[in-house]
Each structure stands twice: as C-alpha cells, then as structure tokens.
Chain A
Amino acid sequence: MPPGHPNGVRADRNWPLRFDFTTPMASAPATLTVDSPEVHDAHAHDHPPHLQHHFVSSEQQFDAAKMGMWLFLATEILLFSGMFVAYAVFRTLYPATYEACATALNTMQGAFNTLVLLGSSLTVALAINAIQRDDQKGLQRYLLLTLLGAAIFLVVKYFEYTHKFHSGIFPGLAFHPYGEEFGHLATVPYARQFFSLYYVSTGIHAIHIIAGMVVLSWVYLKARKGTFSSSYYTHVELGGLYWHLVDVIWIFLFPLLYLIH
C-alpha cells in the first residue's frame, strides 16, 4: 500500500473536482485483495490516545471532523439566510421605513463591534497558529483574548439593546417608541417590523456568540490541561471555525442593518 493512502481511498480526495468514473481503483493494486495476517498483527503498536476506534488514522479523524464542522457551518449560514431573505423582501417592499429606522441604530457602536469581532477572529487564528507550533501558553493566551473580545461584543450589544428599550423600542407588539430621540419612529409605518427583524437577527447572532463562548471556554479548559499539541488540536480548529462563522455573519449583518442610506 502506498504511503499516504492508508485505506486506498485518498486517491480521489479531490472529489468532486476531479471525478473520474472510468478508472476503478487507480491507487489500489491487485495485491490488496488479500488481508495478509502479517499486516494484521502489526497493529499491536500504540495508537495515539485520541484516535477513535473506527478511524484508521489521526489524519482521517481530523479530516472527517473538519469536514463535519464545515457542513455544520453550511447549515448555520442557511439558517441565517432565512433572516436575510425576510430582510430583503421587506426592504424591497418598504424602503422608506428602512431608511428612517436605520438612523436609530448607532453606526459607531456597530462598527466598533465589527472591529472587536474581527479582532477576536484574528486571535483565534493566532491560537491555532500557536498550538501548531506547540506553544501551549500562546494557545491559552489567545483563547482568553478571544473570549474577552466576545464579552466586549456582548456588553456593547447590551448597551445598544437597553438604550432602545428605554425609549420603548421593543420587538413585536410591545414596540412603542417615545421620547425626543426615537419618538418620530412612532409615525413610521412598519417601523416595528424593522426593529423586530433587527432584534431577531442580532438576537440569534448573540445566541451564537454565547454558544461560541461556551465552546471556546471548554477548549480553553482542555488547553489548560495540556490536551492539545501540534499533532492533535482538532477541537481548537473546530472551535475556531465556528467562531469565524459568527464573525462572517456579523460582517453581513452590520452594513445591512446599520448602514442603510
């Protein structure tokens, strides 16, 4: 068996970009047809402790986990796509409402939060970089920095929400703006709907931030125990991917909600 092809499957790992129906078993010579007992006994050597029994190699396990995470991210993107579709439909139907309402959102707070999230994305990437170099302290430091970024984001979000609540801008039927700053929204048709969309989409996003914080805290605790090394850092990688996705969603939410002109 050629090295790099532990189970003869890797030959077409680029599928579906290179999808070839006509060449069966390009990488598996006919000798594969017999499971020789010698090879069989050779497995008595030590496996890494993290390798689950149904995988052949750490490489296979890592690739599978990563691909699974990407598929999960795909579902997250499609989940948010529903919010974006609702947004697009109503922005098309009631453009004036959207322009009027966006003025109530604080662009600077939004932009600040965007930068915070981008920064935390960077620190997660740096955390992976650190563990790839077996830098345990770096890993822990960058994970903490990421969690800090997430916390700052949520604090800013908290102030944004409460500021609006104080002027009666609630989601749904409770929407009832008043006061000097936002009182004029009471006369904007469908203003409530805009803010409902705002609360629902940023709310779901905030739930994702919290979920990401839970995941990263768990990774951090594992990191403190020294679980990870340059040869095994699957959870850091997966947590990082998830965190980047939260960032990606915000990259779209920010201009769509805050920058309507």
Chain B
Amino acid sequence: MAHPASHSDAAHDDGHHGHYVAPVSLLLKVFAALVFFTVLTVATGRADWIPSALHVPIALTIALIKVVLVAMFFMGLKHDNRVNTVILSLTTIFVIVFLGFTLFDVTQRGDLGNVDQMTAADRAYMMHEDSVRYAQTAAVTAALADSTAAADSAAAPSAASPDSTAAP
C-alpha cells in the first residue's frame, strides 16, 4: 500500500544504495583475528604461569575484544547509524551496573555486623536439608540413571545411598 503524503519522493524509494558494503577480504581478516583470539583465550586459560587472579580479567578482556570485532564489522556498527551503537553501549553500561552493584553487595555482606556469612554448622545443616530433599527425588534419579547408564551397571548409584552428595 502506498503512502498518501507528499513526501514520497521517488528518489528515496530506490533502496539501499547508500549502504556500506563490507568487502569480503575485510570479513575474512576479522574472522582470522577472531580465530586467533579464541586460540589465545584457550592458551591463557590453561596456562599455569599466569597468576590465578588474572585469569578472569584476561579471559574477559579477550572476550570483549572479540565482541567489539563482531559488533563493528560483522554487525556493521562501524558504518551504521550511530544510534545503534548508543543502544549497545547503553545496554553494556546497564549490565555492568547490574553486575557491579550486586557483586559489590555480595562481597561486602556482614560489614557492620548485622549479618554473618554462613557458618560451618549451617553448611552441615544445609547439607542435611539437602539430603532430605534429595531423598524425595532419589527414585527419579535412580530411574534416570538406570535408563542412561544401563551398561555401566557396576558404577550405577543405588537409590539407597542418597547421602553421597551430603558429605562435603
């Protein structure tokens, strides 16, 4: 159906001639970079010589670089209307806010003594509750295990020993 208003200038109805066409060579280069970073993240993730505190930051940094590459070139943000970049940035900011505040609270709990973190006794108690709930589903578990591991009968769990999860 056509538009009745005065502005449907034919010059604007002929499609996307203004669109940026990403050259194939560029796409291939980006892909190569992505493969490289994947290998890098596996390598650094398995490396023992990197201090354990740095593993997460390194992995996240590499992931971020990969995402920026995908967003800019594969998703075409580099040559797109800037409002789409704003949308993605705003989203990222809110994810960081969500994650940041929540994690901050978790690490700070009990700071003024109004709340104590979990105690060993509580853990034991929790494991007990755990096993009670577990026992209720032990029959289901056993049935599932039987159906999926019929061959491995020697190692199959018996429903009679539900407490195996309860001993930390």
Q: Which residues of A contact B (CB under 8 A)?
A: 1, 3-4, 6-7, 13-17, 35-36, 39-40, 42-43, 45, 47-48, 51-59, 62-63, 66-67, 70-71, 73-74, 77-78, 81, 84-85, 88-89, 92-93, 107, 111, 114-115, 118-119, 121-122, 124-126, 128-129, 132-133, 162, 165-168, 170, 173-176, 178-180, 183, 186-189, 192, 229-233, 240-241, 244, 247-248, 251-252, 254-256, 258-261
Contact = CB atoms under 8 A, between A and B. Distances in A.
Given A231-B17, A255-B59, A179 B152 contact: yes
Contacts of A1: 7, 9
Interface string B40-82: 0110011110101001000110110011001101110000111
A106 to B, nearest CB: 12
Contacts of B13: 47-48, 51, 57-58
Interface of B: 1-19, 21-24, 27-28, 30-31, 34-35, 38-39, 41-42, 45-48, 50, 52, 55, 59-60, 62-63, 66-67, 70-71, 73-75, 80-84, 86-88, 90-92, 94-95, 98-99, 102-103, 106-107, 123, 127, 133-134, 137, 140-141, 144-145, 148-149, 152, 155-157, 164-165, 167-168
Choose among B6, B137, B165 the residue with the greatest number of A CB atoms under 10 Å from its CB: B6
Nearest to A231: B15
B8 A57 contact: yes
Nearest to B90: A74
A70 B87 contact: yes
Contacts of B55: 259-261
Contact of A259 (B11, B19, B45, B48): B45
Contact of B70 (A13, A187, A251): A251
Contacts of A15: 83
Contacts of B144: 165, 170, 174
Nearest to B133: A173
A166 B149 contact: yes
A251 B63 contact: yes
Contacts of A255: 41, 45, 59-60, 62-63
Given A51-B13, A62-B16, A118-B38, A71 B103 contact: no
Choose among A3, A84, A248 the residue with the greatest number of B CB atoms under 10 Å from its CB: A248
10 contacts: A14-B82, A45-B8, A73-B91, A111-B39, A162-B148, A174-B137, A175-B165, A176-B141, A252-B63, A259-B59
Contacts of B4: 40, 43
B99 A53 contact: no
A151 B32 CA distance: 22
A85 B9 CA distance: 50
B2 A43 contact: yes
A121 B66 CA distance: 12
A189 B127 CA distance: 9
Given A81-B99, A241-B75, A248-B70, 11 more contacts: A7-B7, A16-B83, A40-B6, A111-B38, A114-B38, A122-B27, A166-B152, A168-B157, A189-B168, A252-B67, A255-B60
Contacts of A114: 38
